[in-house]
Structure 1
Amino acid sequence: MSHRIVFAIFCFIGVLEALQFQNLNGKWKLHSANMIIKNLDAEVPGGIYTDLMENKILGDIFYGYSDETTKWVSRTEWIYETNFTVPKDLVNHENVNLVFDGLDTFADIFVNDQRVGASRNMFVQYVFDIKKHLKVGNNKIRVHFKSPIQVSYDLAEKQNKSYIVPPLCPPDAYHGECHANMIRKMQASYAWDWGPAFPSVGIWKNVSIEAFNSTIIRHVVTDLEVNGTNWLLHVDTYLVENHVKGRRITGELVVVLKITDNQWVKSVVHVSVDGKSPAVSTYLAVPKSKISTWWPNGYGDQKLYTLEVTYKNGDEQSFKQVSVGFRTIELVEEPIGKGLSYYFKVNNVPIFMKGSNQIPLHILPELGQDKQRVRRLFQAAKDSHMNMLRVWGGGVYESEYFYEVADEMGILIWQDFMFACAMYPTNEEFLDNVLEEVDYQVKRLSGHTSIALFAGNNENEAALRDNWYGISNFTLYKNDYVKLYVETVKRRFEEITHKRRIFITSSPSNGKQSELEGYVAQNPGNPQFGDVHFYDYTIDPVNSSAYPLPRFASEYGYESFPCLDSWKEVVQSDSDLDVNGKFFEHRQHHPGGNQEMLNMINREFLPINKTHNQYTEAIIYFSQVIQALGTKTETEHYRIHRSTIDEEGKGHTMGALYWQLNDVWVAPSWGSIDYTGRWKLLQYHVKEFLAPVIITGYIDTDKQLKVYVVSDLTPELPTFVASICVYRWNSFTPVSKSNIMMDIDGGSSKLIHTININVLMSMSDCGTGADAFRNCFIHLSMIDQSGKQMAPNNYVFPTKIRNSSLQNPKLKISSVKKGADKIFNIEVTSENIALFVTLDSHQIRGTFSDNGFVLVEKNKTVIFFSENDTTTEELLKELTVVSVFDYTDQS
C-alpha cells in the first residue's frame, strides 16, 4: 500500500496584534528556595545553569568534571521573580492570560502571591487566567521550581512495586540521574552515552501577558490535497479560550494566501463558536498553475508563500502570518522482495533520503534556541547534500526558528515524539500529560514544509520485543505500549491532522508489518520491512559485506574523539590530555567505547609507539579516520543497493541517516561536528559520500572488485567516463588505467565494472600474492565528456592499511594566498602518495573545502574559509598538515 500524504506547510511567526500584549522577557531575580543564594540577576528566557554561570556561582560547567561537581544544582529548588507594571487599559480587558511558552519542568506559579497554576511538562505551553489577580500599577510574578531529580524519584517511589517501569537508572558509565522516564522533560538532560547530566530548571522560552475581550489566534494548522487543477489548502485556526462564562466567540476570520504582490486567494468566514474550545476550519482553492512546488535540498527550489489569517471582532483584531510550501509526500510500503518497500516520494518522485540524526542543539535547552547555532547546523547539512535530519526522541522539540530554517533550506525533518530507550508509565495522570504535549506540539509543528513524518518513539518497540530491561510479563508491557503510543499519541495526532500526515509508531520498526503484529513485531529490525538501526563495533568497519541490506537505515555510526584543540578548551591541566587517562575515560559515556575505538584503529593501522609524545594526538587522528572510513563504507553500501534486491529479497535501500551530526559537549561521540563547532574528518567525508553522484567500489567475498555509479539526480546522467586506476604507493603515475564510457538513469545505482582483484593486480605490475595487495590500491574517478568532474574521487584498498607499503610523503604547506574576504588558497605538496591528508588551522576557526583526503598528485590546492578576519601570516603560523604515515610507528 502507498500512503499519499499532502501537506501545506507554514512557519510560526507569532501574534502581531492581540489587543494588548506585554512581553515579560528580560531581567528577573533568582533565589534558591532556602535563600542561601539570593538576589541574583537572571535572564528570561534562560535556565538555572546559565544564570549561575553568569553570576559566577558556577564556573563553566562544560569544563573539567563539572557534570559531577554541580549535581547539587538540580537537587535544589529555585525561585524566579519579577516585578512589572500593568496599565489600567490592560486590566480592563475581559480576559488576561499569563503565557509561558516553556517551563522546565515542575513549577508553581504565583501572581501577587496568589497561586495561579502549576507546570509538569517541559514541552507544553502554559496559559494561566490571571485577570482577578492583577492590579493596576506594580505586580509581581514568582515561579517556584521543584527539583526534577526529587520529583522523578518521588514518582518512581509511587509505582506499584509489582510493576516497575524500566529502566530505573542509566548505566554507570553515563554518570547520570535516575528515573528520567517518569517525567516529561528532555530525557537526555539526565545523561546519555554521548552527553552529560545537567537537568536544568527555568523559564526556557518566552513569557508574556495577553489581554483581549473576544479571542486571539493561537495556532494556524494547514494541510493540502490535490483536486484536479487546484491545490485545496485546508486551514484550521485555533483560537484562545474565552474565560467569560457562557460567552460565544463571534466575529470574522479572513484567510489570505499571497501568490504574488498582486495576486492572492481569499476566504472570509463568519465565526460563531463555543468559547471553551474555539476552532474554525476553512479552505482555499489555489490554482496549481500559479504555484511553484517546494522541493527537498538537491531537487529544486524551496518556494514558500505567505498565508495571513486575521480574526476581527469590532475593534479587536488578531493576526498570524505563516509560510506555506506546496508539496506532496508519501511513505510507500508496497510488496517487494519478501517484504514491503519503505521509501519516500516527494511530489511523486522517489527520493533517497540522505542525512543524519540530530541530538539536542544544546544540553541546556535555552541555549539550543540560539539562531546562529541553528543556522550553522542547517548550513552544514545543506552544504553536505543532506535532504533529511532526524530529530531524535530523547531530546527536545526544537525552536520555531529551527523548523523555519529547515523549510527554507529544504531539509526534511523526521520528527520523533520525545520518548526514547525506555518504557513509560501509562497511568491516567501521565497519559493526560502526554495528550497536552501532543496537542500543543502537533498544532505548533505539523504544518511546516520540512516535517516529513512524526514517529511515536525511538527504539522502544525493539526494547520491548528484545527485552532490554529483563521484564517477565511481556503482554502487560505490550498493552501499555499500545495504550501510550497508539491509543494516546497516534489517536490524538490523527484527530488534529485529519489523518493527512504520516505517523509511525516507533523507529526502528517494521512499519505496516509491525501494525499487523499488534504494533510490536517479532523482529522490529527485520531488514525486509521498515527502518533499521545498526551498530556493531566488533565487525570490520571498512568491509562492505559486514553491513545489512535494509529498506531504510535510520541510525548507524561509529565513535571518534574530538580534535585535540577542543579537548584543550575543557581540561583542567595538560595531564588530562591523555587518551588512556582518567579524564578521557570520564567523558566516555558509552561503556567500553574507548577500547572499541582502539580495537578498530589497531585492526586497520600499524601500531603507534605509546612512548611517542604525540600518542594522544595520533589516537585522536586515527579515531577520526576510522570513523570517517566506517561511516563512508556503510553509507555507500546503502546507496549502491537502492536499485538491487538480493536472492533473499533484501535491498532496495532508500534512506541513510547516520548517527549523529552534532555534539553537546567535548567528549568521545558519534558526532561529525564537535561541540566547539570544529568539523571532524567524518563531516568532510559526508560532503563526498552524500554527493548527488558518486562512484564507489568494494571487493566482495569472491574477491571481485565491483564498481558502481549512483545518481540521485532525477534526469538521466549524460554520457560519462569512469576511470579505474591502480597506483603503487611510490608513484603519482598509475600503473594501469581503465576508462569506461556509459550513462545511467536518474535516481538509480548501476554496476559498471566487475573484475577479479587478483587479476587486476597482476595486470597492473603490482607484484604477486600478498605483495601485490601491499604495493597497490585502486583509485576511482568520473568525468563528463568535456572533462568536468562529475563525482568525488574515491578509492578501494585491497588490504588493510597496516599491511600497505606506505611511503613517507614528506608533506608540506608550500604556499598560502589570500583570496576573497576570509578565504585562503592553501597549496599542499607531497613527494609520495599520502593517505588521509589532514589540515588543521588550530586556533583560527574555519572549515576547509576538502580534508582527510587521499593525495595522488604532487600538489593540491585546498580552500580555507575562515570564520574571522585573519592574515596570511597568522594562518601560516597555525596551519599544520599530517597523514597516516606521520603517526605510524615505522620501526
Structure 2
Amino acid sequence: MTLRSAQIPLESGWRFRKVGEDQFFDAAIPGCVHTDLYRNGLIPDPFWGTNEARLQWIEEEDWEYALDFHISEELLASQHVDLFAEGLDTLATVSLNGVIIAETQNMFVPIRCDVKSLLKAGQNELLIHFRNPMIYLRACEGGALTPVACDPIGGRQYIRKQQCSFGWDWGPRFATSGIWRPIRIEAWEDCRLDGHRVSQMHKDDKVVVTIEPELAGSIENCSVRAQLAYEGETVVEISATAGEPLELSVDDPKIWFPNGHGDQPVYTLKIELLSRGDVIEERNQLLGLCDARLDRHDDEWGESFQFVVNGIPVFAKGANWIPAHSFVNEGKDLAMDALESAKAANMNMIRVWGGGIYEDDAFYEQCLKLGLMVWQDFMFACWTYPGDENFLETVEDEATAQVRRLRNFSNLVLLCGNNEIVQMHWERMRDDPQLTEDYEALFHDLLPKVVEKHAPNLAYWPTSGWNPQDPMGFPDNPESGDTHYWGVWHARQPVEAYEKLEHRFFSEFGMQSYPWPETAATFTKSTNLYSPEMDNHQKNGGGNETIFHYLSTLYRFPKDYPSQVYLSQLNQAYCLRFGIEHMRRNMPRTMGALYWQLNDCWPVASWSSLDFGGRWKVLHYAARRFFAPLLVSVKRLGEESVYVSNNYRNSTIDKMEIHAVFDGPKETKGVLEWTLWSVSQNRVLLSGTQSLTLTPGHPSVVDTIDASEQIKSYGRDDLVLRTRLSALGYEASENTTFFSAPRRLEFKRPELTLNMKQLDGRRVEVTVSCDVIAYQVFFKLSSGHDFRASDNAFDLFPGEEKSVIIEVCSDELEHDFTSALESLSYFDTYDH
C-alpha cells in the first residue's frame, strides 16, 4: 500500500512581537501585524477617526512571527517533506530550527522549501522575520523618497507588494507585514501534482476537456486519473500514464453563460495522482464549460473590442474590484457578499484592478458560480516600474505562479499587464527612453511571454486603457482599444459629455458619493463633512468640492447631513446612469461598461456602489436597472447653455428620443408605454403605446416625442417624460427624463400610501402609491440595520402602484422591523 501525501496546516499557535522586544503576543494566521496588534489591544481601531496617521510607525518596524509545532516520526519517514507558504508579506527571512531556509521579496510568490533534513520528530520551531518595507524602499531610491501617484511618501514601485497598501485616492496607508496566505507542511512520496492546465474545445454539441498534469518528482510507476462530475454524478472519467494529457469528451454538455445570457452550470473536475495503483494525491476544481475570447476584428468603426462567449458577443456590464478590506484576510466574507450583490445588479463582469492583490481561489469560484466573467490585471498601477534584472526576475516568478494558478478558471477572459501606466505617464516615457525600455521589457515582453507559455488560450492586453494604434501614446481612441474616461469627475465636465463618446470599451469611469450615515458612524461621531475625521475618510483631493459641483448642478442644496449623503448618492446614480445608458445605446460599437468602483476597502467617501460592509448605495439599485437585460433609455435632443452674466438659460431641448435596448438570449416582443406629465397640473399631457420587436444586441429608436407645444404652454421646468418598456419574462424597465435639471422643477409634497405584508421573519412586502409625482423614493430602517430591497430610489407617478420586498440582514430585527421602516424622497432633502 502506497502512502498518500499528507498536509499539516500551520495556522494555530503562532505568536508575534516587534523585533527588539521580549514579549510575544498571540497571532492569527493568515493575517497581518496590524490586525494582530489590534486584537491584542496594542493599537486603537485603525479605521476610527484619524487613527490612521497615528499608526504609521508600524511600517517602520521589523516584526517576528514564531511557531512551535509537532512532527511525527511517521510523517518524517516520508520521502519528501516540504514547507509551503502561499504568501508572505513581504520582505521575509524564514528559519526552521535556527537555520535560514528562504528569503522573500514578493508577497505574490509562494515559496516551497525541502525541510526534511532540518525537521526532527517532536517539537520544531519556525521563525519568520519581516523587515520593514521603508528601509528597503529608501535603499532602492538611494536616500530620501519622492512621492509618486497615490503614494504620499513614495517608493512603492520598487517592492512587489499590494500597491494600495501605501495609500490611494480611496484608501488608507497601512503598509502591512505578515503571513497573509496559508502556510503548511506537505509530505509526499515519489511524485506530487505541481499543477495542471485545462483547455476546452467546443464543437458539434460536444466539449472535449483536455487536462495536462504538471508533476514534480519521479513519475515512474505513476498514473493520473481525471473525473468530471455534475451535481455529484460522474459524467466522464479517464486515466493515463503520468506525463500524458487526458481528454474528457463530454456529450450533451451543459454550457456556462455569463449572468443574464443563460445558466451557470458548474462541473467538478477531480484529478487523482496514483502510484502503483493507489491514490496518493487528489485535487478538485470547479469548471464551467464555455468558449470565451476577446474578439478584435476590423469593422466599420475601426477595430472591435468585445468578449464573445459561446459564439455570442456579450456587452460587458460590471465594475472594478479593489481589495474588500485594507487588511485583506478580514475581507473574505465581504468579498463573497459583494460578488452576490454584483450578480443581483445584473453585472456579468468584474475587473480585478491592478493596484490590489490577486484574489484567492474562492473569489474566482464565486464569480464562476454567479456568472461573472473576470478581467484580471497584473498587480501594477499608475506609476513606472524598474527594469533591472532582479526586478524582472521576481516579476517573472510572480506572473508564472499567478497565471498557473488562475488559468483554469473558465470565466477568466483577459489578463491585463497594468492599470493606467501609459495613460498617466506616456509623456514621461516619451521624454525618457530608459523608462520606455523598462516599460516594454516588462509589459510587452516578459508578461506576454509568461502568458503564452502557461496559458496560451488566454488573451493578454498590455495596459488599461490602451490604444493599440498608438501603443505608447495617450489611450483616447474611439476606434480601438479600451478607455478610462475621467472627463466627468476629474475634469468636471458636464455629465452630457458622455454622449459625445463613442469608444469601443469603457473600463473605468465614475462619480463619488458619501457613505451612508450608518457607515460613517463606524469611524466618526461627526456629521460635518469637513471635520478632521471626515476629511481623513475622503482621500481624493478636491473630492468634496467636486461632489457638490455636480450635486448643485442637478439638485437643490441639501438641508442637512443625511440629505447631503442622499443627494450625493442620487447624483452619483444619475451621472452613471446617464453615461451607461448612452454606452448601451451605442451597441455594437461600444461593447463594455465597467464603472469605478464596486466596493470599498474601508469606510470612505468614494466612487463605490457598495459601502464598506456591503450596504447598497443608490447607485447599486440604479445599476440593477440600467444593467438589466431590458432597458428603455431616453436621449434628450438639443442642448442647454447658461449665460454667466445674467443666468439666462438658452435651451433647445424640446424632443426626446426613446430607445429600446435588449441583450437577452433571443429575440422577443415588447410593449412601450410613455406619458408626458405636467408637474404643476399633476396630469398627463400626452401619451402613447406601441408594440415592437426586441433584437439582442441591436438597440433601436422606438419613438421621438416632440414636446414643443407643451413647452410653450407649461415651460420646460414643468415637464417630465415617463417611459416603460415591458416584455414577457423580463422585469419591466422604467425611466424618468426631465427637460431641465430636477432642481428647477417644483415638485409637490408626496404623501406616500404604504401597505405592508409580512412574508416571514426577515421579509416584508411594501406596496406604495402616491397621488403626485414622487421623485426618488427610498426606503430605509430607522434602526440603522442593513437591508436589501428588491428596488429602491425609484420614481412613482399617480396611478402607479409599486411592490417592494425588503429583507433585513440581521437576526436582531426578526419579527419586528416594520415599525423601523421609513421612507423619504427627493422632496424631503431641501428646505421649502
The partner residue of 1:202 within 178, 187, 207 is 178
Partner SS for 1:793: strand
Letter in 2 for 1:744: L
Tell me, yes or no, if the aligned pair for 2:191 and 2:219 is still in contact at 8 Å: no
Partner SS for 2:28: strand
Q: What does the per-residue CA deviation read over 1:461-485, in whole Å, with 9 as the maximum and x for residues that have no partner?
A: 22232x3xx4673432222111001
The residue correspondences of 1:253-332 to structure 2 (distance < 5 A) are 253-258=224-229, 264-271=235-242, 280-287=243-250, 289-314=251-276, 317-332=280-295
Mapped partners of 1:257, 1:62: distance in 2: 46
Q: Return 255-264 or 129-138, whichever deviates more.
A: 255-264
Mapped partners of 2:317, 2:421: distance in 1: 24
Tell me, yes or no, if the aligned pair for 1:824 and 1:864 is still in contact at 8 Å: yes
1:639 aligns with 2:579: no
Shift of 1:533: 0.7
Q: TM-score with structure 2 length normalisation?
A: 0.93
Mapped partners of 2:441, 2:97: distance in 1: 41
Judged with a 3 Å threshold, the aligned counterparts in structure 2 of structure 1 residues 393 and 17 are, in CA distance, closer, same or farther, namely: farther
Q: What does the per-residue CA deviation read over 1:409-447, in whole Å, with 9 as the maximum and x for residues that have no partner?
A: 111000111111111111111111011111111111111
Mapped partners of 1:227, 1:772: distance in 2: 61
Tell me, yes or no, if the aligned pair for 2:320 and 2:598 is still in contact at 8 Å: yes
Tell me, yes or no, if the aligned pair for 1:104 and 1:203 is still in contact at 8 Å: yes
Match of 2:340 in 1: 379
Letter in 2 for 1:639: R
Tell me, yes or no, if the aligned pair for 1:259 and 1:290 is still in contact at 8 Å: no
In structure 2, list runs of 5 or more residues that go unmatched: 639-651
1:183 aligns with 2:173: no
1:755 aligns with 2:705: yes
Q: What does the per-residue CA deviation read over 1:790-849, in whole Å, with 9 as the maximum and x for residues that have no partner?
A: 5321011100112112222244x7444321231012344545212111222142221112
Tell me, yes or no, if the aligned pair for 2:206 and 2:252 is still in contact at 8 Å: no
Partner SS for 1:543: helix
Judged with a 3 Å threshold, the aligned counterparts in structure 2 of structure 1 residues 262 and 400 are, in CA distance, closer, same or farther, namely: closer
Match of 1:543 in 2: 496
Shift of 1:235: 1.5
The residue correspondences of 1:102-501 to structure 2 (distance < 5 A) are 102-157=87-142, 168-170=146-148, 176-226=152-202, 230-240=206-216, 242=217, 251-258=222-229, 264-271=235-242, 280-287=243-250, 289-314=251-276, 317-368=280-331, 370=332, 372-465=333-426, 467=427, 470=428, 473-497=431-455, 499-501=456-458
Tell me, yes or no, if the aligned pair for 1:124 and 1:440 is still in contact at 8 Å: yes
Shift of 1:889: 3.0
Match of 2:643 in 1: none
Q: TM-score with structure 1 length normalisation?
A: 0.87
Partner SS for 2:523: coil
1:623 aligns with 2:565: no
In structure 1, list runs of 5 or more residues that go unmatched: 1-15, 160-166, 272-279, 644-651
Partner SS for 1:209: strand
Shift of 1:168: 3.9
Q: What does the per-residue CA deviation read over 1:676-726, in whole Å, with 9 as the maximum and x for residues that have no partner?
A: 3211100010110001110010212363311100000121122x2211211
Match of 2:759 in 1: 819
Match of 1:606 in 2: 556
Tell me, yes or no, if the aligned pair for 1:46 and 1:205 is still in contact at 8 Å: yes
Letter in 2 for 1:601: L
Shift of 1:337: 2.8
Tell me, yes or no, if the aligned pair for 2:547 and 2:568 is still in contact at 8 Å: yes
Shift of 1:870: 5.2
Shift of 1:156: 2.3
Mapped partners of 1:539, 1:779: distance in 2: 29
Tell me, yes or no, if the aligned pair for 1:731 and 1:832 is still in contact at 8 Å: no
Judged with a 3 Å threshold, the aligned counterparts in structure 2 of structure 1 residues 783 and 233 are, in CA distance, closer, same or farther, namely: closer
1:668 aligns with 2:605: yes
Match of 1:579 in 2: 529
Mapped partners of 2:344, 2:53: distance in 1: 37
Tell me, yes or no, if the aligned pair for 2:258 and 2:264 is still in contact at 8 Å: yes
Partner SS for 2:541: coil
Shift of 1:284: 0.5
Shift of 1:756: 3.5
Letter in 1 for 2:593: A
The residue correspondences of 1:751-830 to structure 2 (distance < 5 A) are 751-759=701-709, 761-762=710-711, 767-768=712-713, 771-784=714-727, 790-811=731-752, 814-828=754-768, 830=770
Match of 2:788 in 1: 847
Judged with a 3 Å threshold, the aligned counterparts in structure 2 of structure 1 residues 268 and 73 are, in CA distance, closer, same or farther, namely: same
Match of 2:518 in 1: 565
Shift of 1:320: 1.4
Letter in 2 for 1:551: R
Shift of 1:743: 1.2
Shift of 1:118: 1.1
Tell me, yes or no, if the aligned pair for 1:597 and 1:623 is still in contact at 8 Å: yes
Match of 2:636 in 1: 699
Judged with a 3 Å threshold, the aligned counterparts in structure 2 of structure 1 residues 590 and 323 are, in CA distance, closer, same or farther, namely: same
1:708 aligns with 2:681: no
Identity of aligned residues (%): 27
Mapped partners of 2:264, 2:3: distance in 1: 29
Shift of 1:201: 0.9
Shift of 1:338: 4.2
Tell me, yes or no, if the aligned pair for 2:292 and 2:413 is still in contact at 8 Å: yes
Mapped partners of 1:789, 1:839: distance in 2: 24
Q: What does the per-residue CA deviation read over 1:471-512, in whole Å, with 9 as the maximum and x for residues that have no partner?
A: 673432222111001211110111112x211111111112xx
Tell me, yes or no, if the aligned pair for 1:553 and 1:657 is still in contact at 8 Å: yes
The partner residue of 2:69 within 84, 89, 105 is 84
Match of 2:481 in 1: 530
Mapped partners of 1:758, 1:250: distance in 2: 85
Match of 2:677 in 1: 727
Q: What does the per-residue CA deviation read over 1:170-205, in whole Å, with 9 as the maximum and x for residues that have no partner?
A: 46xx68442111111110111111110111111111
Tell me, yes or no, if the aligned pair for 1:342 and 1:529 is still in contact at 8 Å: yes
Judged with a 3 Å threshold, the aligned counterparts in structure 2 of structure 1 residues 472 and 548 are, in CA distance, closer, same or farther, namely: closer
Tell me, yes or no, if the aligned pair for 1:357 and 1:657 is still in contact at 8 Å: yes
Letter in 2 for 1:291: P
The RMSD of aligned alpha carbons is 2.4
The residue correspondences of 1:27-42 to structure 2 (distance < 5 A) are 27-35=13-21, 38-42=23-27
Choose between structure 1 and 2 for higher RCO, CA contacts under 8 A separated by at least 6 residues: 1
Letter in 1 for 2:617: K
Q: Return 599-608 or 625-634, whichever deviates more.
A: 599-608
Letter in 1 for 2:503: P
Partner SS for 1:407: helix
Mapped partners of 1:317, 1:601: distance in 2: 63
Match of 2:809 in 1: 867
Tell me, yes or no, if the aligned pair for 1:549 and 1:641 is still in contact at 8 Å: yes
Shift of 1:737: 0.7
